[in-house]
Amino acid sequence: MTTNGAGMGNEAVERALAEYAAVGERYVRELERKGLVFAEANAGASRCAELRAELAARGVQVRNAGASLSVGHLSPACVECTGNRGSETFSTTFKCHRDCYFCFNHNQPDYEKFFREGCPWEETLARSAAENESLACVGLTGGEPLLDLENALRLLKRTDEVWPDAHTRLYTSGDLLTEESATLLQAAGLDEIRFSVKDDDAPDQQDRVIAALRLAKRFIPSVMVEMPVIPGAKEHMQDLFRRFQEVGIDGINLLEFCFPFCNWDEFARRGFVLKNPPFEVMYDYGYSGGLAVDGSEELILELMQWALDEGLTFGMHYCSLENKHRSEIRQKNEPAAHAHPCLTFDESDFFLKTAKVFGPDIPVARPVLEAAGCTDFMEDTDEDSLAFPLRFLDVLRDLTRPDDTPLTPMTCFFVHEHDEGGSYLIDVALRPAPEHAG
């Protein structure tokens, strides 16, 4: 199996690429055996690439190697989600008066216990305070935090004592926001409130949330909407965007709609299928959001383009499922940025990376690399590969083997893991090397 023709004429590369591809194929196959339905491989990928290019040409900021697209207002919390100044989100309760079929709280550790008893936020915050002298951003989510307003206010007060400069935000459905609670949240110093607007809510429910947005504008410095974009809801979403414009929200976070490994019958009943491949880089991610639904990304990109055409002025941020994973990968890999001289910490997608040549390319590449001053290598005889720092890739450009076959240098992606036995690296992807190492 090849990747865009990479490895043609090099059996060692072909073998390595096939092994990586097999991991993703097995993952999809096992979930299909359990009844999940995936789209055709790379369905819609070319359309999404086209829309992304058009948005970038219109000045939309491409962040985190394309996992995040932003134009206009972007919450400081979204910047720090994958930043390095520190961000943490707490829950005081998992209770919620809603029962959304796509809610992923059921994937949270000890969900049933914390639903009944409330979340141990004081203990969690104290532990975080001991580990972090400063945090740039602190979030409060749930469940529905306004079901336990007393603890929500206590958490905000404690945050101000521990991290007085932290930007604070609260997530809510908006149903329970009143003038009294908004006044109390304002007094507690809340910087931002994010409303989760549900596409499939009844009109009267959405009217109440729109009214809550207007109310929040009077009390909270920044008013945001954050919602998953469900395939098939284009016209309704456009109507909501116009209403958000009338309210004067600061921005909207457009989330990739995801299946949270529960309630598949509800997804199937609505005709949804899952994105394939499920991840850009196959890895056992810790984020509990699940798997992206096919078609959600395409609709988000179309909505962003439409909103620009309409002249809507609130900020828009496409936060893909992949962007959620970026934060986890940065936290794992940045501390290991100098774990080995062959490794480079990629500041865009946060993977650790090294360059590799395989099989018959090795005897051609090695003397050229050494002549260029490369002294750091990692050899893998089982894989028949030679790894070296990415900065030396350019010296291999235009090199050929004695039979005039071009070399096929690759880039290998790693994640830094640690357990009770210590720290170690796992390789998770192999891709054609970029044209220029930079």
- C-alpha–C-alpha distance, residues 316 and 313, integer Å: 9
Domain locations along the chain = 11-24+337-432, 35-331
Tens-binned pLDDT, residue by residue, of the chain (438 aa): 334 456 568 999 999 999 999 999 999 999 999 999 999 999 999 999 999 999 999 999 999 999 999 999 999 999 999 998 889 999 999 898 888 888 887 777 777 887 878 889 999 999 999 999 999 999 999 899 999 999 999 999 999 999 999 999 999 999 999 999 999 999 999 999 999 998 888 888 899 999 999 999 999 999 999 999 999 999 999 999 999 999 999 999 999 999 999 999 999 999 999 999 999 999 999 888 899 999 999 999 999 999 999 999 999 999 999 999 999 999 999 999 999 999 999 999 999 999 999 999 999 999 999 999 999 999 999 999 999 999 999 999 999 999 999 999 999 999 999 888 899 999 999 999 987 554
- C-alpha–C-alpha distance, residues 197 and 209, integer Å: 7
Query: Residue 247: how many CA atoms within 13 Å on its side-chain side?
Result: 28
Query: CB-based burial of residue 21 (10 Å sphere; 0-12 exposed, 13-18 middle, 19+ buried)?
Result: middle
Q: Please give the full DSSP string across 211-232, using - where no structure is assigned.
A: HHHHHHHTT-SEEEEEEEE-TT
- C-alpha–C-alpha distance, residues 6 and 3, integer Å: 5
- C-alpha–C-alpha distance, residues 107 and 121, integer Å: 18
pTM of the entire structure?
A: 0.93
Identify the CA nearest to 3 among candidates 384, 413, 425: 413
Q: What is the pLDDT of residue 4?
A: 44
- C-alpha–C-alpha distance, residues 346 and 143, integer Å: 35
What φ, ψ does residue 90 adopt, rounded to 5°?
Answer: -120, 160
Say what angle helices 121-131 and 149-162 make with each other, to 10 degrees. 10
Q: What is the pLDDT of residue 421?
A: 86
User: In which order are the strands placed within the sheet that holds 167-172?
Assistant: 61-63, 68-71, 315-319, 251-256, 222-229, 192-195, 167-172, 137-141, 87-91
Fold of 35-331: TIM Barrel (3.20.20)
Look-up: residue for tokens 């995801």? 258
Q: What is the pLDDT of residue 306?
A: 98
- C-alpha–C-alpha distance, residues 213 and 249, integer Å: 8
Read off the DSSP letter of residue 71: E
Straight-line distance from the first to the last Cα atom of the chain, in angstroms, rounded to the nearest whole number: 28
DSSP β-ladder status, 68-71 and 61-63: antiparallel
Secondary structure (3-state) at 192? strand
Secondary structure (3-state) at 202? coil
3-state helix, strand, coil in the chain (%, to 5): 40, 20, 40
Q: Please give the full DSSP string across 381-432, using - where no structure is assigned.
A: TTTTEEEE-GGGGGGGTT-B-TTSPBP--EEEEEEEEEETTEEEEEEEEEEE
